[in-house]
Structure 1
């Protein structure tokens, strides 16, 4: 077979497309609809793969997939967890979707947003989600509320974070299956792959979409000893457990691929591997935007949460033998997470209804041997609120990057311009030498901000909903004007010293029971306070806390509609902070 390499030159910033023969053809798409398995890891960077040049980390199964798949080498996500997941699910910029932070009530999608699961489910696919969701723990924001029919997941942004099942530590944990908590045996990553394979086996006779979203290698960095052992004692390894977690993922990916092959599904399954942001622990860095002092980052500057390339350029492998997506080819064109929804719809011949209106565009033209015209000449991403969560309201250009095939206009601690082709490490700011490029890139940012900024608004949690009653609220969703609220097990073990409102939507007027707790109900721990207070719907109530009480119960009449709930727990010195957990139950 003769392989053609087609180069299409665009008029803006030397934008180049590389496409290959043997890619998607109309004939390959005319048969039965393909299955889709989308595997996404958490906090694994571009350099945390052997096939990307890491000299120490062993990832044989990912390396094999890289050799067999179509590889996008300039693929970008958001610099951290929730925004990438929001963009992936909706095809929209995270700020537009409503889910653009990792806590503080900014993790949930606006109600008018539709997801990949909605799209596939409405077109006859079985839809399954396993692992980390991080787009809301309460109705109407849970994965089962957003189009997934079969769900096994942990709450919050990570195992061991505040709203996760109390006591979970990566081993033999309790996760939620379709609305009910269930105890699982084994290490978390092993469980997620096992449940993913179970979903595939149960739905092998129909088209299916599986979103396998791993929590690893996100911290805390815990893994069975056998996986970390090869990396212990190596001074060039920043975190042996982090590498061990990736090695375990690689092992499980091999098991998954072998099983779908045994089931006869491999040829007509679109298998995608990607990660959600730059590395978290693949190196030791001096600040978010530095090059690694220890470790390997594929020559890039920046880590997780950085708007330099190391914070958001990630692996993206796509493999579909029956559709021609194979052969280990590289596509160097700029692409992004917002493109996944329209691409999968295009490849699976699913029309995208007007209600979706994705910001992304289909990557299918890049997969055609003819090298069809490409619809984008730039991409914008923004870390809304800035690094360190010191401030949440976003400002124009703050912590943003405007990207083209050649240029990066970066706004971090200051504004800089980088020629990514000549200087992939982003070492030299060339803004003074190219004022005309600066002007053009700033102009690209303006329509992005005009679309996104009006949607940086509160998304509300339902109470009194038939889908979830009672609703268990967690401090991670306090809607604070700055900073992060208490969001992990360690934080909620301390006396509360801050509080904030939960933004609620009361679905039906009536009598409600509110139970305030310092610890989640399953922890069975007393409230360390002498008085408790609530403010909701223009009403204020205060009650004493009985000795050894594990929950302070209020009853209040609430009208239907939007409201805010604020809670306080007072210690004997009169100092107060919010109840980390509050159950809101419609009683009549």
Structure 2
């Protein structure tokens, strides 16, 4: 009996020692901040002293690539897979959610004994089973949709003293949004300091609308070389909070054994003035690159990536000029933390550990493909082969934007000289590289459904930003919804439980407390069409209907006096 007791104690101590040795992970990603929007990357105006210090102390990937805009980058980071394969490859229109079989980096770390936290912007689905708490994160504070003030966000949020969601319940917070995210991130660190933790802290700043306390923007106001003073002010505020977070890690004795990552989600949105998506900046600094957010030129998707882990030997300042990408983050962090990636993950990315430790100087990626599915111009869905793509190698960029162009990125980093006609063999080789990518991704550019009748979220509150539209964007922000546009579209749903459902149609969310401006309402779902008049002053039009289990579509109509119909931009579906 004594021998067994001693063995148990020994195992507990060994396990505790192992847990103490496992590195923590703090993963920070800002929104719409480009490679050139940092002092350490040569920007002569914006002041980022804390990020500059992290740059000097970190290993940096200097040719690191993401997707040209929000959601797809996040999907790739979470899964290690190309965004189209995950199903989350747009920022609205029902394409922001990942397929159910996709597992996330949070699932991986939680399954291996880590406390997992997520604070800030998710943009991978607002409803079960797609919320961060459904995807492996145990402690969550977040705003819905793609930005504060967008349609499914809590009505009236404006970056200051807003209401966000904490673990499934709305809560009022005091202060500026970025300050709140970092405060909550530091709260998570404090609460989990005695165990290994994984913190994902994606800010919504400096994404528009460009709102920030005046003191942060003031140094940039009136400077003719600054395209947007508030944008730079938002970055300065992020930098300040980065300093606070690093101070806390040091104070708690965690800095040495914490893997700290800083990156951004796409190219700059407002760091300069551009003549279209693919130009060089007319005003401002873009690190010599052509293109901004939503461009498939380098300025749209080449971003900072700093990684700092003193105990693991990742410090001291060194640049790695090898192509790396968002799909590599999951396998890299798993290997650094000695976590085996199960076979059912199958990431498209690879571990960058050999590059980080210079153990394989010959390591190089044969090629990498980025596609903006549907394109920035026509916004048609689904996408076509080669449409809005770049196939890249260390030397070459084969860009298909409005036309096919080839650039020698080493000789021409600004991508000014199209030399496709001089190198047809390179064009052919890179086009051949694209084909396996398309064959893998294209079958997965299919609808991802929202649950109704799921006990994890009942009622399900649907928002028009998730209408599955074939072209363009549905109403996706407060401003567009206030105009009550005469448009509707289908929600792609999965009925989890057969039975009676209450479906409540609104033009504004329940918390807005506004009446429905319509004469007549209609719903179409599961092969049924039901119609009824709208009572004057009604703040929600209620239907009750029996639904079978399985996939279905819900389309709503609210008719005005002239018979013109718009949809119910907010609809609650409750299993009774």
Matched, 1:165 2:132: no
Alignment of 1:256-405 (within 5 A): 256-371=245-360, 373-374=362-363, 376-388=365-377, 390-405=379-394
For residues 153 and 390 of structure 1, the distance between their equivalents in structure 2, rounded to whole angstroms, comes to 28
Alignment of 1:465-484 (within 5 A): 465-484=454-473
In the alignment, which residue of structure 1 is the partner of 2:395?
406
Tell me the secondary structure at the aligned position of residue 175 of structure 1: strand
- Per-residue CA deviations over 1:96-139 (Å, capped at 9, x if unaligned) read 00000000000000000000100000000000000000000000
The number of equivalent residue pairs is 559
Which of 434, 456, 461 is the equivalent residue of 1:445?
434
Q: Distance in 2 between matches of 1:275 and 1:208?
A: 22
Q: Distance in 1 between matches of 2:20 and 2:466?
A: 46
Equivalent position to 1:533, from 522, 525, 539? 522
Partner of 2:12: none
**SS state of the match for residue 21, structure 2?**
coil
The one of 201, 207, 212 equivalent to 2:201 is 212
Tell me how far apart the structure 1 counterparts of residues 265 and 445 of structure 2 sit (CA, whole Å).
21
Contact 1:496 1:580 in 2 (8 A): no
Q: Report Cα offsets for 1:138-191 as digits up to 9, x if no partner.
A: 000000000000000000000000000000000000000000000000000000
Q: Secondary structure at the match of 1:387?
A: coil
Structure 1 residues 567-582: aligned runs within 5 Å: 567-582=556-571
Q: Is the 8 A contact 1:103 1:487 kept in 2?
A: yes
Match of 1:504 among 493, 498, 514: 493
2:133 equivalent among 127, 136, 144: 144
Match of 2:9 in 1: none
Stretches of 4+ aligned residues off by more than 3 angstroms: none
The aligned runs of 1:548-559 (5 Å cut-off) are 548-559=537-548
Q: Distance in 2 between matches of 1:343 and 1:326?
A: 16
Report the CA distance between 1:362 and its aligned residue: 0.3
The whole-number CA distance in structure 2 between the counterparts of 1:172 and 1:538 is 44
CA contact (8 A) 1:365 1:373 kept: no
Q: Following TM superposition, by how much is the alpha carbon of 1:31 offset from its aligned partner in structure 2, in angstroms?
A: 8.0
Conservation of the 8 A alpha-carbon contact between 2:19 and 2:196: no
How far did 1:390 drift? 2.8
- Alignment-derived partner of residue 251 in structure 1: 240
> In the alignment, what sits opposite 1:188?
177
In the aligned structure 2, how far is the partner of 1:45 from the partner of 1:392? 27
TM-score by length of 1: 0.94
1:79 is matched with: 68
Contact 1:339 1:362 in 2 (8 A): yes
Partners of 1:164 and 1:389 in 2: CA distance: 27
Specify the alignment match of 1:128 in structure 2: 117
Q: Deviations over 1:286-340 (max 9, x none)?
A: 1000001001100100000000000000000000000000111000000000000
Structure 1: how far apart are the matches of 2:542 and 2:293? 41
Q: Any idea what SS the aligned residue of 1:266 has?
A: coil
Deviation by residue 1:235-290 (Cα, 9 ceiling, x = unmatched): 00000000000000000000000001000000000000000000000000010000
Contact 1:190 1:252 in 2 (8 A): yes
Superposed CA RMSD in Å reads 1.0
What is the Cα deviation at residue 372 of structure 1? 5.1
Seen in structure 2, the aligned counterparts of structure 1 residues 30 and 108 have a Cα distance that, compared at 3 Å, is: closer
Distance in 1 (CA, whole Å) between partners of 2:506 and 2:275 is 39
Contact kept, 8 Å, 2:20 with 2:194, in 1: the verdict is no
TM value normalised by structure 2:
0.96
Query: Which stretches in structure 1 are left out of the alignment for 5+ residues?
Result: 1-28
1:30 CA displacement: 11
Contact 1:361 1:375 in 2 (8 A): no
